[in-house]
Structure 1
Amino acid sequence: MAAANRHRAGGCPGRGQNAPTASFPALTQPLASALPAPWPTPHSPQDRGLDALPLFAPPSGLDPRLEAFLQQASSLLCTWLGQTEMRGPLPALSVLPSVEPERQGLGGDRLLADLQLVMEGAFHPGHPGALAHLDPPALTASIAADLICAGLNNNLLAEELAPSLSHLERGLCAWFAGALGLGAAAGGVAASGGSLSNLMALVTARHSRGLGQCGEAVVLCSTDAHVSLVKALAVMGLPAQALRRLPVDGHGQLCTERLADELERLQRDGIPVIAVVATAGTTVRGAIDPLEAIAGLCRRHGVWLHIDAAIGGVFALAPEQRPLLAGLGRADSVTVNPQKLLGITKTSSLLLLPDPAQLQRAFGTGLPYMEPSWGGGHGGEMGLQGSRPAEILKLWLGLRQLGLDGITALVEGALARRRRLQQLLAGDGRLQLLEGPLHLLSFRPRSGSHEALAHWSEKTRAALLAEQLMLSRPLYGGVHHLKAVLGNPHTQPSHLERLAAVVAAQPCP
């Protein structure tokens, strides 16, 4: 295999033409001369004998070689973070080291040098112009917790493998569920992403109805519901047509009249419903389905209500935004992803239920190779995952760093940035805006063929990237839009004004 692989990340037409101050080093040079200061070079005095790095941390005392290695790795990361604005959100070109392990293992200096090459090609979520996706910069406390989590190497499969962390997970899930209005007995489990949380919710819903062997059962959602539901039904062994997508109104919300009609028809025809999935924060426009009305329909028909609040759930933690999520507490299960706005390092998703024992009933196997739980059940009995890292640690520490006021400040700041960009773009009469109550804003020209709109979105995105402003280009209603996600706390009004100016300079179809 070649010693290095070249790749272009993301594709940036015109990228770098207007870059403010920095460019990537020519990595075909000798590594030491290619590294921009203040990155420590592999053979600098700071190495302190890293070639003798131990494979494992000694159990009987602090090893200065391990400490030095972790300090240098932290220094690399802090430098990378500190150079974010110089580099832009997307790397233009990166040279990767070989993926194959060599015959002899590498020492600490080579490991850090190779690690730096990978870091050079990484996306910069902390860049003020990184506005494309639901990927904010990481909280500093969450970064530290991720390191501690890796070093502890506990396993949330069972309590004896993660004693304190198992209790921490149960307690934090109970607090979060209570804060969302799910009740005093509520709780849940952490999962590796919202797709998995949604899947586990639907498996639990099916189990609760005794529909495990029923191939005719269906799931109802809106046309704007997340694509993870398609994957969930496939994993559950259900045909694609079992996902019944109902239309949305002009605000992107599930039409409750159509839902009521469909529930009546299915009941009349004897077709069982696994769940209705309402969305609190759709992917393109940030719409929130009418949760109260949907909850009432589900109660009337005895149907499980799952709310996919991966995007919008954390808004319920901000007092003034809580009314947006009215009805959330009436759900049978809720997905919420703190990683999407609060800066919790990936992944951070929670599946929360008023009755968390439902999870044990759906996924419990008895874990015959483990000692019995002395608390509220083993983590491996609460979902699909067996071995799990203690991802709850970075959520817990991040929330403690923020505090309730800090959470509110992040939510309100994101909404203020969305309102400002909306105000700027609304002044361009050529544009049609998809407005929603959250921190997402999508737009496109008012007229033009699908091909012309696709070309416009591609050219405009490239022009924005040249100005170090990164938006995404989603398809919505079969038409390409540009989408800005305003959850980045580093984004200033000047960045939004520059964004609007670039868009205004682009000819529309």
Structure 2
Amino acid sequence: MRSHLLNDTTAEQYRHTATAAVERVADRLASTRNPFTGITPEALSPAVDAIDLDTPLGDAGAALDELETVYLRDAVYFHHPRYLAHLNCPVVIPAVAAEAVLSAVNSSLDTWDQSAGGTLIERRLVDWTAGRIGFGPAADGVFTSGGSQSNLQALLLAREEAKAADPALLRVFTSECSHFSVQKSAKLLGLRPEAVVSVPCDQDKRLQTVALARELERCRAEGGVPMAVVATAGTTDFGSIDPLPEIAALCAQYGTWLHVDAAYGCGLLVSHRRHRLDGIEQADSVTVDYHKSFFQPVSSSALVVRDGATLRHATYHADYLNPRSAAVARIPNQVDKSLQTTRRFDALKLWMTLRVMGADGVGRLFDEVVDLAEQGWQLLATDPRFDVAVRPQLSTLVFRFVPAHVTAPALIDRANQYARKALFASGEAVVAGTTVNGRAYLKFTLLNPQTTVADIAAVLELIAEHAGQYLGETLAHAS
């Protein structure tokens, strides 16, 4: 079995096996005609369940053949221009090349004696991101597994900075359209259910600052401690960006930690639309997800803070890993800043991307999908068959099929839900769903520069066709 370990004697075997895997995936990417095959869990599960994991195949080629039937053939492919569902992006080739490097070398980014240059590369990228945000030289941060972890750590720092004598008095304010990880993080931090205060949004799905000011004042009047405000720069459902300068002014007035969840909107940092993030430089912490709008493979995220000293709240010393003597000797250990211990060298993907494409190259890709969303909105806004919820600020379109001859909202809900399921089952396109004011809506999340207005128009026709078929059969049956 030692023959399967990657080392100096198996380097050629590694080259052969990795090449075979790359060729298999490349062939699949080149031949994929739809984003999905439409296979159901009931159809695919027997093939997976029938595999005896205690009886190895003994050959990588045979394992790849088997993988073709249980994964590659029926995977959901985000690179396809009609994958329009969630915040999943096609990935850039330099980052995929970096994946091959980091997986093989297998550095762990917790301590210097496990990563060396990897530590310095991650730190340089954190500094670069902080500069793009507009933070000063005191800024710092760390790469994370994703936006949820970044938000959790940000709220941990905010809780510790609040220095509340009674944790039951702590309150977190965030918009009704913010990510669910805010509530989850509060629970993980031991805060009470009522600790997270949901602030209403305006018609553009942006946090209402008047309502936030009212809630902050009420908190103080009731003896509470306004621990943090979480503003969103790119909500998951609508791509909306909260009014950051006004929120920052309120946080300064009440002495409240400002965290900006820019997991989605961080692509604006390298875009010619950077002004849409004005005010983010006043935040205490920022979440960025490179694996959304920087076109990086999962996972690639970071938490960046304006004052690096606040990261001490995540620091613990262990004699076997990062003793205090290492800190005294100024040895750069990233575990001192992280909630994780063992951690992949995910920063290498962004490093390779910037060194090959440059920040402007990434920004142009993001600008393309933002432009596409605007064109899609114009298409929807002029089509009487659809109701579009809000004009996009980023690359998300939320809409609903509303035929003129049907007025029952619940029936229209079911027709839209049916259309989404039918489209998924056909494999021709993948779209997402959500609710707006209690009603069922559909959602295009546009993160593929290969997607065209023609693709959007074609998928809208498929939605109308499926929804119309459902309504026709339902109404005929009812009569």
What is the TM-score normalised by the length of structure 2?
Answer: 0.89
Classify the secondary structure of the residue corresponding to 2:392: coil
What is the CA-CA distance between 1:125 and the residue it aligns to?
0.6
Residue number among 383, 392, 396 corresponding to 2:338 in the alignment:
383
Residue number among 88, 92, 97 corresponding to 1:139 in the alignment:
92
Aligned to 1:129: 82
Alpha-carbon distance in structure 1 between the residues aligned to 2:238 and 2:124 = 33
Aligned to 1:28: none
Aligned to 1:457: 416
Corresponding position: 1:167 with 2:109: no
What is the CA-CA distance between 1:104 and the residue it aligns to?
5.4
> Does the C-alpha gap of structure 1 residues 83 and 212 become closer, same or farther in structure 2, counting only changes over 3 Å?
farther
Alpha-carbon distance in structure 2 between the residues aligned to 1:121 and 1:89 = 6
Q: For the Cα contact (< 8 Å) 2:266–2:293, is it kept in 1?
A: no
AA paired with 1:200? Answer: Q
The count of residues paired between Structure 1 and Structure 2 equals 454
Classify the secondary structure of the residue corresponding to 1:129: coil
Alpha-carbon distance in structure 2 between the residues aligned to 1:503 and 1:299 = 47
Classify the secondary structure of the residue corresponding to 2:4: coil
> Does the C-alpha gap of structure 1 residues 212 and 144 become closer, same or farther in structure 2, counting only changes over 3 Å?
farther
Corresponding position: 1:413 with 2:362: no
Corresponding position: 1:190 with 2:146: no
What is the CA-CA distance between 1:450 and the residue it aligns to?
4.9
Classify the secondary structure of the residue corresponding to 1:489: coil
> Does the C-alpha gap of structure 1 residues 385 and 225 become closer, same or farther in structure 2, counting only changes over 3 Å?
same
AA paired with 1:440? Answer: T
Aligned to 1:73: 21
Aligned to 1:55: 4
Alpha-carbon distance in structure 2 between the residues aligned to 1:98 and 1:156 = 38
> Does the C-alpha gap of structure 1 residues 254 and 467 become closer, same or farther in structure 2, counting only changes over 3 Å?
same
What is the CA-CA distance between 1:376 and the residue it aligns to?
6.5
Aligned to 1:309: 262
Residue number among 340, 360, 366 corresponding to 2:317 in the alignment:
366
Alpha-carbon distance in structure 1 between the residues aligned to 2:61 and 2:88 = 31
Classify the secondary structure of the residue corresponding to 2:53: coil
Classify the secondary structure of the residue corresponding to 2:227: strand
What is the CA-CA distance between 1:445 and the residue it aligns to?
4.1
Alpha-carbon distance in structure 2 between the residues aligned to 1:458 and 1:198 = 31
Classify the secondary structure of the residue corresponding to 1:381: helix
AA paired with 1:364? Answer: T
Residue number among 426, 430, 433 corresponding to 1:470 in the alignment:
430
Alpha-carbon distance in structure 2 between the residues aligned to 1:81 and 1:375 = 46
Classify the secondary structure of the residue corresponding to 1:474: strand
Kindly report the root-mean-square deviation, in angstroms, between the aligned alpha carbons of the 2 structures.
2.2
Q: For the Cα contact (< 8 Å) 1:428–1:504, is it kept in 2?
A: no
How do 1:177-326 residues align onto structure 2 when only pairs under 5 Å count?
A: 177-211=130-164, 214-319=167-272, 321-326=273-278
> Does the C-alpha gap of structure 1 residues 279 and 448 become closer, same or farther in structure 2, counting only changes over 3 Å?
farther
Alignment gaps of 5+ in structure 2: 472-479
How do 1:400-439 residues align onto structure 2 when only pairs under 5 Å count?
A: 400-434=355-389, 435-439=391-395
Aligned to 1:45: none
Deviations 1:238-291 (A, max 9, x none): 122111101111111111011111111111222012200001111111111100
> Does the C-alpha gap of structure 1 residues 302 and 57 become closer, same or farther in structure 2, counting only changes over 3 Å?
same
Sequence identity, in percent? 30
Q: For the Cα contact (< 8 Å) 1:180–1:317, is it kept in 2?
A: no
Deviations 1:334-381 (A, max 9, x none): 00111112220001111011112311x111112321351565742212
Classify the secondary structure of the residue corresponding to 2:397: strand
Aligned to 1:15: none
How do 1:5-84 residues align onto structure 2 when only pairs under 5 Å count?
A: 54-59=3-8, 61=9, 63-84=11-32
Greater CA deviation, 376-385 or 333-342?
376-385
Greater CA deviation, 122-131 or 439-448?
439-448
Q: For the Cα contact (< 8 Å) 2:380–2:387, is it kept in 1?
A: no
Classify the secondary structure of the residue corresponding to 2:260: strand
AA paired with 2:14? Answer: L
Classify the secondary structure of the residue corresponding to 2:138: coil
Alpha-carbon distance in structure 1 between the residues aligned to 2:428 and 2:129 = 36
Q: For the Cα contact (< 8 Å) 2:36–2:427, is it kept in 1?
A: no
Alpha-carbon distance in structure 1 between the residues aligned to 2:364 and 2:418 = 35
AA paired with 1:453? Answer: I
Residue number among 397, 413, 421 corresponding to 1:441 in the alignment:
397
Alpha-carbon distance in structure 1 between the residues aligned to 2:431 and 2:184 = 26
Q: For the Cα contact (< 8 Å) 1:53–1:65, is it kept in 2?
A: no
AA paired with 1:149? Answer: L
Aligned to 2:477: none
AA paired with 2:15? Answer: E
Residue number among 64, 73, 78 corresponding to 1:120 in the alignment:
73
Alignment gaps of 5+ in structure 1: 1-51
What is the CA-CA distance between 1:293 and the residue it aligns to?
0.1
Classify the secondary structure of the residue corresponding to 2:302: strand
Aligned to 2:440: 480
> Does the C-alpha gap of structure 1 residues 339 and 102 become closer, same or farther in structure 2, counting only changes over 3 Å?
same
